[in-house]
Structure 1
Amino acid sequence: MSIPNIHVGIMSADLVEFNFHGEYQLVGTDHVSSGDGSVRIENGKIQLDDSKISLDKLYFVPLERGKSEFELKDVTIGVNFHWEQKENQKFQGALKFIIEEDKITAVNILSIEDYLISVISSEMSAQSSIDLLKAHAIISRSWLIAQIEKQDKLTDAAETYERTFETTDEYIKWYDREDHTRFHVCADDHCQRYQGTTRSHNPNVVKAVNETAGVVLSYNGVICDARFSKCCGGIAELFENCWEPVNHPYLTAVIDNPAAPKGFDTDLTVEENAVPWLKKAPEAFCNTTDEEVLKQVLNEYDWTAKDFYRWTVEYAQDDLAALILKRSGYDFGKILDMIPIERGASGRLIKLKIVGSKKTLTVGKELEIRRWLSESHLYSAAFIVEKQDVVDGVPQQFILQGAGWGHGVGLCQIGAAVMGHNGYKYDEILHHYFKNITLEKRY
């Protein structure tokens, strides 16, 4: 197997401005561009600058591979998350412009290994321990190849892939990379955080990727759909509780600690067990305030979020009702209650019943719950609800006490950072978070 190329969707906008640092040829033409440029849609085609070039798609390749790079301006990172912002980003490889939903999408095409160097740097601080970086390189490579293979299967399949189920009583939706049909993955947290060469030149990251080149996680000979999130909150979640109802035996309810914390029943699918677990802070690798460790994992825009292991969010009645209306599109009226219906292995809610004066509906899965209850996303769906100041059956205040950051499936980045800091090797980290897997070199 040769090193594959990956197509990454970077941004979509009405107007995309860029700068070629070096010469880039427009494939299929004799046109060569360098310096500043822009593309926009005119008459259903992509118009390059003020030139006569107007095509369905534009595909630029560098004339000097490895020496040239291009810059895209005003790329949005952290889309719909609390750290959302714009920045200019630089990339190696080729650049393609396509039209999607009446906007121009910029797609970066490069080798999977070059992509991984950037992903590891974008996901975490490049100052992380070498074993953490190696572990992350392997799971990111595994996830990516698994997604490409999955996309090929979905394309070949006759049936339509369904991820939204709605009845009069329930609204269940999950999010995965099937949203993308004209490139393999996007550049934001929805897939894997990828920011080109902007943060990819640390020699430790290059070393970690090069020394694990072609190595993937496999289970019974199949490349693993290896997932990761910032902080599991003490116990990892199951794949099927966040995405499609498929069980992956290597993604289990891992207790993120050398031994189960004393004084807790860790079957968090039971509400009576989940409440004390979420209210307290059991020992775990990811239960840390060590700034030396945290700075290995959290970039500057993540660093504002230090209350990731256990956190609290408060809503006034009117604010919560308005928020749920805005985010869900349903008018519940006054919010009377939010009732846990089903929890996963980590205590994350899979289904939450929202009881309103005008409407009652159960929402799931975990990310949709997080989307409905925040202007961006809640840290996680692992939370309990406390009602306060109830007047005529209407709570005036809701307090959410929660745990963890992200979906919690697979590798816990902060927990893995602590393990690396404490001397665990990359294979030990991987075997902790992914059970009964094999490390296999595919190319």
Structure 2
Amino acid sequence: MQEPKIRVGIMYEEEIAFQLNGIYTLQQNDKTYTGKQTVKYINGKIEFDGLRCKTEEFILKPENYENSSFELFDVTIGIKFHWERKENQCFKGSLHILIENEKLTAINVLKLEDYLASVISSEMKASSSMELLKAHAIISRSWLMAQVLKSEALQSSKQIYQTITESSEELIKWYDREDHNTFDVCADDHCQRYQGITRQSSNAVLRAIEATKGIVLTSDGKICDARFSKCCGGVSETFENVWEPETHKYLQAITDGKESSLKLDLKIESNAKNWILNSPDVFCNNNDKAILSQVLNDYDMETPDFFRWEVQYTQDELSDLIKRKTGKNLGQIQDLIPLERGLSGRIIRLKIVGDEKSFIIGKELEIRKVLSESHLYSSNFIVEKENIKNTIPSHFTFKGAGWGHGVGLCQIGAAVMGAKGYSHKEILLHYFKNAELEKRY
């Protein structure tokens, strides 16, 4: 098998400004371009260099892949997260632009290993320990190849990828492959954070990628859908409790400590409460800034309370937030009742009780989106109510654990393991039980 090329969705706008650093050829007219350029969506067509063409894809290829790059201006990163912002980003490879829903989508097409160099430097500091970098190179490569294969299988089967179950009383929704039909993965946290060559890769990152080139995690001969999140909060979650109801034996719940077998049943409400309100001795329970800075970029370090966190709302704030996010007027909020928790304690189905009606939401990301202007850190929380009058609390305090979905590798836990001297193989097999390492190209 040869090294694959992949398509990464970068941005989605009516007008895209960019700079070509090198000579690029436009496939549609065979002309060459360099320097600053602008492409616009106008009346169903792509406008560029005085040309208006209604085409499926507008493709600019570099004459020299290794020494050329293009810079996209005002790329939004951290979409709908609390640290959302815009920045200019540079990329190797080709720039593809296509029309989608009366806007333009910019797609970067490049070699898989070049993509990994950016992902590892974007997801964590390029100065991380070598064993952590190797581990992340392998899971990022595995996850990406699994997504490409999954997309191909869905397209060939012509199945409708169903992510929603909805009634007047309940909405169960997960977020995964539903947005990406024209490219393999997006560049934001929805997939893997990818910022081109904007985040300069260190020699250590490049050595880690070269040392693991073509190596993936497999289970029963299939490439693992190797997920990861910032902080599991002490116990990892299973795949089927976050995404489609499909069990992967390598994505199971484990305690993020030296003893990785799960001893507490966090599906039980009292156990989950005790777990969240305590500070267990696990790898990701760590405040060492030198270790955390390996995983957390500057804007991630703006979040100091990822392992155990607290958010407060007034009655007016919470009832208004839920009304806006669900589109349903439940009245004043009386209670939030976990109907089902996963093995990590994350809430899978949550009943929101209002004085006018009740509504059930799930899975974990939908819960996080409804209960925050951006994203609640995780769905692993309990709710404390204050000043209850006529069944209506005046204030709510959410006390929670972890940052992200918690499935697969815990980045902060893995950083601590790397700092403690664990090898990349030991790190991977701690988080991905029943998996093995295999070289595919």
Settle same-fold status: TM greater than 0.5.
Answer: yes
**Aligned 8 A contact 2:92 2:196 in 1:** yes
Map of 1:189 onto structure 2: 189
The Cα of 1:53 is off from its aligned counterpart by 4.7
1:322 to 320, 329, 342: 320
The Cα of 1:200 is off from its aligned counterpart by 3.5
Aligned residue identity for 2:240: E
The Cα of 1:43 is off from its aligned counterpart by 2.5
Q: Verify: 1:305 aligned to 2:303, yes or no.
A: yes
Q: Verify: 1:12 aligned to 2:12, yes or no.
A: yes
Map of 2:53 onto structure 1: 54
2-structure distance, mates of 1:195, 1:154: 27
**Aligned 8 A contact 1:337 1:355 in 2:** yes
**Aligned 8 A contact 1:385 1:401 in 2:** yes
Map of 1:226 onto structure 2: 226
Q: Verify: 1:98 aligned to 2:98, yes or no.
A: yes
The Cα of 1:201 is off from its aligned counterpart by 2.4
User: Which residues in structure 2 correspond to 1:247-258 (within 5 Å)?
Assistant: 247-258=247-258
User: Which residues in structure 2 correspond to 1:11-410 (within 5 Å)?
Assistant: 11-49=11-49, 51-56=50-55, 57-259=57-259, 266-410=264-408
1-structure distance, mates of 2:426, 2:52: 54
CA RMSD of aligned residues (A): 1.2
Moved over 2 A (4+): 52-55
**SS state at 2:384 partner:** strand
Aligned residue identity for 1:286: C
Q: Deviations over 1:42-70 (max 9, x none)?
A: 22111014x23534231000011111100
1-structure distance, mates of 2:305, 2:183: 35
Aligned residue identity for 1:214: G
1-structure distance, mates of 2:302, 2:180: 31
**Aligned 8 A contact 2:163 2:178 in 1:** no
TM-score, length of structure 1 as denominator length:
0.98
1-structure distance, mates of 2:149, 2:260: 36
2-structure distance, mates of 1:284, 1:306: 17
The Cα of 1:31 is off from its aligned counterpart by 1.3
**SS state at 2:394 partner:** strand
1-structure distance, mates of 2:150, 2:158: 14
2-structure distance, mates of 1:260, 1:224: 20
Map of 2:433 onto structure 1: 435
2-structure distance, mates of 1:269, 1:48: 56
**SS state at 1:151 partner:** helix
**SS state at 2:300 partner:** coil
**Aligned 8 A contact 1:177 1:191 in 2:** no
Aligned residue identity for 1:91: F
Q: Deviations over 1:70-93 (max 9, x none)?
A: 000000000000110000000000
The Cα of 1:100 is off from its aligned counterpart by 0.9
**SS state at 1:216 partner:** strand
2-structure distance, mates of 1:200, 1:178: 31
How many residues are paired up?
440
Map of 2:420 onto structure 1: 422
The Cα of 1:41 is off from its aligned counterpart by 1.0
* Unmatched runs of 5 consecutive residues or more in structure 1: none
Q: Deviations over 1:198-234 (max 9, x none)?
A: 1132111111111100000000101000000000000
* Unmatched runs of 5 consecutive residues or more in structure 2: none
**SS state at 2:172 partner:** strand
**Aligned 8 A contact 2:90 2:198 in 1:** yes
2-structure distance, mates of 1:231, 1:301: 16
The Cα of 1:265 is off from its aligned counterpart by 5.6
The Cα of 1:14 is off from its aligned counterpart by 1.1
**SS state at 1:379 partner:** coil
**SS state at 1:311 partner:** strand
Aligned residue identity for 2:266: L
**Aligned 8 A contact 1:257 1:284 in 2:** yes
Aligned residue identity for 1:135: A
TM-score, length of structure 2 as denominator length:
0.98
Aligned residue identity for 1:277: W
**Aligned 8 A contact 1:151 1:178 in 2:** no
The Cα of 1:260 is off from its aligned counterpart by 6.7
Aligned residue identity for 1:379: Y
Change (3 A) 1:265 1:317: farther
Identity %: 55
